[in-house]
Chain A
Amino acid sequence: MSAHSEPIPLQAPRRRLLPALRDWSEREEVFSWLMILPPMAFLVALVGYPFIYGIVLSLENRPVAQPGTFIGLGNFLADFRDPTFWQVVQNTFVYTAAATLLKMVGGLGLALVMNQAFRLKNLVRAVLLLPFIVPTVLSTIAWMWILDPSFSVINWLLVHGGLAERGPSWLGNPALAMTSLIVVNTWRGLPFYAITLLAGLQTIPPELYEAATIDGAGALDRFRYVTLPLLKPVVFIVTMFSLIFTFSDFQLVYVLTRGGPANATHLFATYAFDIAMSGGQFGLGASVALAMLPPLALLIVALALYLRRA
């Protein structure tokens, strides 16, 4: 068995090296970095690089399929002088604020109900997640049918129920179109809120409620002094996520209205896409997309600070 004896001298240094390597990698400061590295690389490649590239583009006059020229803040200045841009800003804020608020209130209510014991609880909880699971483009097509100018189911019911001669123009009237989009966004985002808050609710120890009840607290008081304070951190986290997703929403608007009527429902993402893709102006499009960063960052920093203080 001479073949076995040969590798021994080779293994000797490896034996010394391996434990050393293991010791080194098991040191906390090294190990934590090793664990963080793969997701970091992933983030840099898929988020960091496009993000930096986006910043570079926004500082260039960069028509599609042509080399760019650096123009500093020229694109942003152009945005600021564009009345539609300001309408987009206003739309995005209204859309985000209204939808987030509705999702928060509705989600909390839903979570409280789901937290009760009732028959088929688990089934209901699973069904609740559906709007969140179905791909947005698909579910939005269903909404397209519900809100369709010619074939709206709601209008059909209104007309055939004798409630109206003809239903409202859900996507044709500027204010109604925005309202409709907010409703659809709320419908889609509600389960996310509800499930997350439900998880938060279940971490609250029942003894606290018992103690409060013994102290004479009614249902409202229990909610106000026990549930709400303990749920706050979860509410903030979920609001932060929701803000980001709602602020940068694209699919819903793109499928339902494409930003119409007369830009009444254009958001940052859809406007940026139109300018960059249909208009072939990558630089200008990137500047519109990036313009959503400062307000979003501010909102998130404010929330984070509040959370830390609380």
Chain B
Amino acid sequence: MTKKARALSAQSRRQFLKATAFGVAGAALGARPGLSAPKTMSIMHENSFIKTFDEYFQKTLIPAYEKLTGVKIKYELVSVGGLQTRVTTVAETGTGPDMTLNFFNWPFLYDEKYVDVGDIAEEAGKKNGGWHDAAKEAVVVNGKWKAIPFGNVGQLMNWRTDWFKEAGVEKFPETWDELLEAGIKLKANGHPFGFELGHGFGDNHGWLYPLLWSYGGREVEPDGKTVVIDSAETARAVDFARIFFQKTMLEDVLGWTDPNNNKAYLSGQISCTNNAESILWAAKRDFPEIAAATDQSLNPKGPTGQRFHILAPWSHSIFTHTGDQQAAKDFLRWLMEPPQVGGWYASADSYYAPFLHAFDDAPLWHVEPRNIPYRDSLATSHLPGWPAPVSRASSESVAKYVVVDMFAKACAGKSTKEVIADANAQLKQIYRPA
């Protein structure tokens, strides 16, 4: 044991004694929340890309809560990419951690195994200036809050300001057509674009759904039943994607999964991609020159004059199998109080764009002003399948990569008619009446 470790363990012993004393005192007074709570509870998270974020939870939030209530919180970290399998197992078997982090549409997938947390969510909204609309889209299932929204890991256009400038483009293009024009020049200069068209999780959906929507295309009507992918709007979006791919990109992108565009961008092979903040974050750490010449912008507008973004929300839920649901609720309620949630958000700078309006102008946005478009993108962010509500069918469509592959096949050379017919057949099957 090093000196430091010894000091720490001595400190943690002291903390433990203190916490126990507090707990006993609390129990005696009977006024603290969670007084009849179990001594330990657990919450599952996936290893965050931002190390300080996990550390803040483990070293600041957990000890603070223990000090206050005597309840020990176990922060169970799952390796990247493994959380959904874990949540599925826990939901299926009814054993395991009490609470979990969710990505994307999980509150809809596991809703029957999640506790209604509407009371906490409403209260957190009131105390923190209200929720962004996108937050509700992410977690309200059949009128019930099945999770407490946290933040959004948005996707924006990441681009090289130096190379764009070289090609005569000073500002990031406002429309897809202008972006295509810029891309042609950049590719000619040896700086192609790279947008994922393969089977990753985020970076493909991150630009393809917004592209489809901004052209007026939709998978289904808001009723969540009528398939409308076969439209002139979709056809125009597909035609655009094919040209955009051929004239600005390399064939590689068809086989890309999520890490590929980060690597290609950071090695100076591409001049523009659609990604979360991870590129800028890693560039600042490892490639300062690239970071200095990188900016992030909102997705371009389509012919409809609108722009869209993908919603990639993080939220927290309580499993129904949890022994003491009240204790879990007490913890989440405490977490969402302004001092706690504010510190939690700030620990990752603005990587997780807060869903709470009170943080719209918080200092965390000034740490990296290039992240401000992430906040601005929330108003135009939606989950795949929009404008229909999330359903089992929309999840199946995402799992089968229907929209991604429609575009990918067109880029690989199939006709627009063919790829839309394929997508239409698949969607009709997926959205068939039960």
Would A61 and B434 be within 8 Å (CB), given that A169-B250, A277-B84 are in contact? Answer: yes
- B254 and A261 contact, CB distance less than 8 A: yes
Q: Is the CB of B91 within 8 A of A262?
A: no
Q: How far is the CB of A259 from chain B (nearest CB, A)?
A: 5
Q: For residue A237, give the distance in angstroms from its CB to the closest CB of chain B.
A: 34
B85 within 8 A of partner (CB): yes
CB contact under 8 A between A150 and B264, given known A169-B251, A260-B198, A262-B405: yes
Give A174 to B250 CA distance when docked, in angstroms.
14
Q: How far is the CA of A148 from the CA of B262 in the complex (A)?
A: 13
**CB atoms of B408 and A261 under 8 A apart:** yes
How far is A148 from B401 in the complex, measured between Cα atoms in Å? 22
Given A172-B252, A279-B395, check contact A64 B267 (CB 8 Å): no
> Does A277 contact B85, Cβ atoms closer than 8 Å?
yes
User: Contact: B88 with A64, CB < 8 Å?
Assistant: yes
Q: Is A227 among interface residues, defined by CB-CB distance under 8 A?
A: no
Nearest Cβ in chain B — how far from A179, in angstroms? 12
Q: In whole angstroms, how far apart are the Cα atoms of A174 and B408 in the complex? A: 11
B92 within 8 Å of A (CB atoms): yes
Nearest Cβ on chain B to A134's Cβ, whole angstroms? 20
Query: Are A64 and B109 touching (Cβ within 8 A)?
Result: yes
- A65 is contacted by which of B92, B197, B399 (Cβ under 8 Å)? B92
Q: Is there contact, CB below 8 Å, between B255 and A171?
A: yes
Which residue, B85, B113, B396, has most C-beta atoms of chain A within 10 A?
B396
Taking residues whose C-beta sits less than 8 angstroms from the other chain, chain B's interface range is 35 or more
B409 at interface by CB-CB < 8 Å: yes
At the interface, yes or no: B263 with Cβ under 8 Å from chain A? Answer: yes
Produce 1/0 per residue, A65-88, CB < 8 A to B: 110000000000010011110000
For the complex, give the distance between the alpha carbons of A99 and B400 in Å: 26
CB-based nearest B residue for A270: B199
Report B90-127 CB contacts with A as 1/0, cut-off 8 Å: 01100000000000000001111100000000000000
> Known contacts A65-B110, A82-B429, A150-B263; is A173 also within 8 Å of B405 by CB?
no
Interchain nearest-CB distance for A199 vs B (Å): 38
B116 shortest CB reach to chain A, Å: 15
Give min CB distance, B352 to chain A, whole Å.
22
Please report the C-alpha to C-alpha distance between residue A278 and residue B110 in the assembled complex, in whole angstroms.
12
B251→A172 contact, CB < 8 A: yes
Q: Is B256 a contact of A149 with CB atoms below 8 Å?
A: yes
Report yes or no: B112 in contact with A284, Cβ–Cβ below 8 A.
no
Contact of A84 among B91, B264, B426 (CB under 8 A): B426
Complex-state Cα separation, A172 to B392, whole angstroms: 30
Contact: A149 with B252, CB < 8 Å?
A: yes
Measured between beta carbons, the chain A residues less than 8 angstroms from B250 are: 149, 169, 172
Does A226 make an interface contact (CB < 8 A)? Answer: no
Query: Which of A118-155 touch B at CB < 8 Å?
Result: 148-151
25 CB contacts below 8 A, A to B, read: A64-B110, A78-B429, A149-B250, A149-B256, A150-B260, A151-B263, A172-B256, A173-B251, A174-B412, A260-B198, A260-B408, A261-B254, A261-B255, A262-B254, A262-B412, A274-B399, A277-B88, A277-B399, A278-B395, A279-B392, A279-B396, A279-B399, A279-B400, A280-B392, A281-B392
Interface residues, chain B, with chain A CB atoms under 8 Å away: 84-85, 88, 91-92, 109-113, 197-200, 250-257, 260, 263-264, 267, 269, 392, 395-396, 398-401, 405, 408-409, 412, 422, 425-426, 429, 432, 434
Beyond the given A65-B111, A280-B396, could you list 12 further A-B residue pairs with CB under 8 A, ordered by the A residue number? Answer: A65-B88, A65-B110, A81-B429, A82-B429, A84-B400, A257-B199, A258-B199, A259-B199, A260-B257, A262-B197, A274-B399, A277-B88
